[in-house]
Amino acid sequence: MENNSSVPHEMVTTAFELNGYRIVKNFGIAKGIIVRSRSIFGLIGAGFQTLVGGNITLLTNLCEKTRNHAFDLMLQHAAEMGANAVIGARYDATEVMGGVTEVLAYGTAVQVEKI
């Protein structure tokens, strides 16, 4: 059965405890993985932006969208496991091949209750 819900963003932390809550069950690692490539148009536009220097907004926006997508998938995975929170949330990125990057969002899926 597919679960379309996800853990609320405010129930995610990089810490290993959530203030005001007690962990009552640990479900293990929840993860969201995205593999993205840059389009030729994006590379050309980013190339032009490097000529003037500063923030390369085309690539910044691509990175932000990719991280958000991986994060949302992690929250969905955690909810499917029965969690209502994620602690120890982290990101990792690896270049799989030239122009192709894997972004992983992961953390520990837990069930918490208010103290």
| Residue pLDDT, tens place only, 55-82 | 657 677 778 889 999 999 999 999 999 9
pLDDT band at residue 2 under the 50/70/90 scheme:
very low
9-114 sits in which CATH class? alpha beta
> What is the Cα–Cα distance from 109 to 71, expressed in whole angstroms?
13
Q: Which residue has the higher pLDDT, 88 or 38?
A: 88
Q: Comparing 1-5, 35-39, 110-114, which segment has the lowest mean pLDDT?
A: 1-5
The answer to whether the beta carbons of residues 77 and 4 sit under 8 Å apart is no
Round the average pLDDT of the chain to a whole number and report it. Answer: 85
- Give the pLDDT score at 1: 37
43, HSE (Cβ side, Cα atoms, 13 Å): 7
**Would the pLDDT of 40 be above 60?**
no
The whole-number average pLDDT for the span 23-35 is: 97
Q: What pLDDT shows up at residue 85?
A: 98
Domain ranges of the chain: 9-114
Q: Quick: pLDDT tens for 6-25.
A: 999 999 999 999 999 999 99
